[in-house]
Amino acid sequence: MSTITENALQSLQPPITPASFNANQSEPIRLYPLSNYTFGTKEAQPEEDPSVAARLSRLQQHYDSHGMRRTCEGILICHEHNHPHILMLQIANAFFKLPGDYLLPEDEEIDGFKKRLNERLAPVGTQFSGEGVNDEWEVADCLAQWWRPNFETFMYPFIPAHVTRPKECKKLYFIQLPRSKVLSVPKNMKLLAVPLFELYDNVQRYGPQLSAIPHLLSRYRFEFVDEAGTPVSITPGGGPYENRPGVKVLAGGDVDMKQENGQ
């Protein structure tokens, strides 16, 4: 019997179901499809610093006046073809970052973080109306803390042993997206939906912080639902993709959407 025939016969056999392997896990987190969300644009938000040197100089001024800078960024997750996608911003067609920013010195952490998320992604004026426009951000677990030991670009997921006064701490928070939400991105940025497999081990393109997100999320189980809110899959598991997931441009940027999405 040929190998092809043997493989065909094997594929008809039901898989062997192992014993339960879900000990000490929290309840699955529900992820809604990308199509449930509405995306738009708003006025541009130019970068505060024209160069890396200017940004580090401003960091030093902040440290001299207020101490360590506190920064919060959000990991917003939805799904496409039952695969988790992370919503992130792209600036100048090159630089990727998560929504969020540094907190003002007088801000409380979570309230200040929500203000920063609104600055980046909340719709303005009467651009949109209806469900999901004014929903509060649901800030869940803190998934990572990155530390800047000096006035340099390097950040570490730990405080080096010789450092007693780090200059910045950046926290990455898991943001639980509701069933629907309206998001608006500044015109000078793009809002992307990036699949986990694109981020994984891709330090060269996304840097150490973003490429580590699949590791951070591996602790969770995800329940994927359709547009009507009906569960269709849960990890581990899934199913064959009708279309291969990929990076999608959702809003912003002067681009040909069909060309960017590979259509």
- Tell me the domains of the chain and their CATH numbers: 26-260 (3.90.79.10)
pLDDT per position as a tens digit, 76-93: 999 999 999 999 999 988
Measured CA to CA, the distance from residue 168 to residue 156 in angstroms comes to 11
Measured CA to CA, the distance from residue 93 to residue 48 in angstroms comes to 17
Q: Looking at residue 260, what is its pLDDT? A: 47
- pTM as predicted: 0.84
Q: Looking at residue 140, what is its pLDDT? A: 96
Nearest partner of 101 among 53, 152, 49, 151, judged by Cα: 49
**Across 4-19, average pLDDT:** 67
Q: Phi/psi of residue 231, each to 5°? A: -60, 135
pLDDT per position as a tens digit, 116-131: 999 999 998 655 666 6
What DSSP string runs through 95-120? EEE-SEEEPPTT--HHHHHHHHHHHH
Higher per-residue confidence, 260 vs 47 = 47
Q: Looking at residue 133, what is its pLDDT? A: 63
Q: Looking at residue 257, what is its pLDDT? A: 41
Residue with token string 């996304």:
206
**Across 2-28, average pLDDT:** 71
Which tokens go with 61?
């001024």
* Torsion sign across C-alpha atoms 210, 89, 195, 75: positive
Are the C-beta atoms of residues 89 and 97 closer than 8 Å to each other? yes
Q: Looking at residue 259, what is its pLDDT? A: 41
**Across 8-19, average pLDDT:** 72
pLDDT per position as a tens digit, 29-78: 999 999 999 999 999 999 888 889 999 999 999 999 999 999 999 999 99
User: Looking at this protein, which amino acid is placed at residue 108?
Assistant: E
Are the C-beta atoms of residues 192 and 80 closer than 8 Å to each other? no
Q: Looking at residue 245, what is its pLDDT? A: 67
User: Looking at this protein, which amino acid is placed at residue 127?
Assistant: Q
Residue 223: burial class (beta carbons within 10 Å; 0-12, 13-18, 19+): middle
Nearest partner of 149 among 52, 68, 54, judged by Cα: 68
User: Looking at this protein, which amino acid is placed at residue 183?
Assistant: L
Measured CA to CA, the distance from residue 76 to residue 172 in angstroms comes to 10
Measured CA to CA, the distance from residue 148 to residue 225 in angstroms comes to 39
Are the C-beta atoms of residues 62 and 169 closer than 8 Å to each other? no
Q: Looking at residue 244, what is its pLDDT? A: 58
241 — pLDDT class (breaks 50, 70, 90): very low
Asked if residue 189 has pLDDT above 90, the reply is yes
Q: Looking at residue 246, what is its pLDDT? A: 75
Q: Which of 11-15, 75-79, 147-151, 190-194 shows the lowest mean pLDDT across its residues?
A: 11-15
